[in-house]
Amino acid sequence: MTVKRPARAIALGVGVVLVAFAVLLASQVNTDPSYKGGDLLGKPVPVFELPLLDDSAKVRSADLRGKVVLVNFWNSWCIPCHQEHPSLQRFYESHKDDTGFEMIGIVRDDTKTAAREWVREKQDGWTFLDDPDGQASLLFGTTGQPESYMIAANGIVVGMQRAPVTVANLEEMYSVAKQAA
């Protein structure tokens, strides 16, 4: 009987230490999915040049100057990308006729074949770019997908989200971008 009590005390002590360590780690992680504190916020959009998904031309970041631009990093196998897609479609439909607005999807970590099939199937009307060597993903500092960045007409990143967006998130970022212009 006396042997069991020291074992229980040791097990309890180890448990308390593990719980304390877990709480410490959890307190150091940003768990808010609408996190907006990236390195690009308030800075100029990175300079990039990427091919259209159909390889018909290239798009340079300089070509977008003077427009409010939503850039969305995504891929066809990403579950959160599937979840946010209806919001992107609704937002695009609401603003596709706005003068000075552009929406760009940049394919991150996917094959052109899979990405092209996705776009064909979904009948999305916005511009899609391929990031074959991860150039734009690195320049934007992406950590995964989906990630979205709203760029004001002056070329400054005014909003970002490293999680699936909602129409409300996008409208808020769009409003900020339009006021910054």
Instruction: Render the burial of 142-158: b for 16+ CB within 10 Å, e for the rest.
Output: beebbbbbbbbbebbbb
pLDDT digits (tens, 9 = 90+) for 147-181: 999 999 999 999 999 999 999 999 999 999 999 86
6 band by pLDDT with thresholds 50, 70 and 90 = confident
Instruction: Tell how far CA 119 is from the center of its chain.
Output: 18
Q: How confident is the model at residue 13 (pLDDT cuts 50, 70, 90)?
A: low
DSSP character at residue 44: B
- Residue pLDDT, tens place only, 56-97: 999 999 999 999 999 999 999 999 999 999 999 999 999 999
Question: Which pair of tokens denotes residue 178?
Answer: 């339009």
Residue 15: count other Cβ atoms within 10 Å of its Cβ: 10
Give per-residue pLDDT as tens, 124-153: 999 999 998 898 999 999 998 999 999 999
Structure tokens at 43: 């800075």
Residue 14: predicted pLDDT:
67
127-130 and 101-107 beta bridge pairing? parallel
What is the structure's pLDDT at 136? 94
Count of residues making up the chain: 181
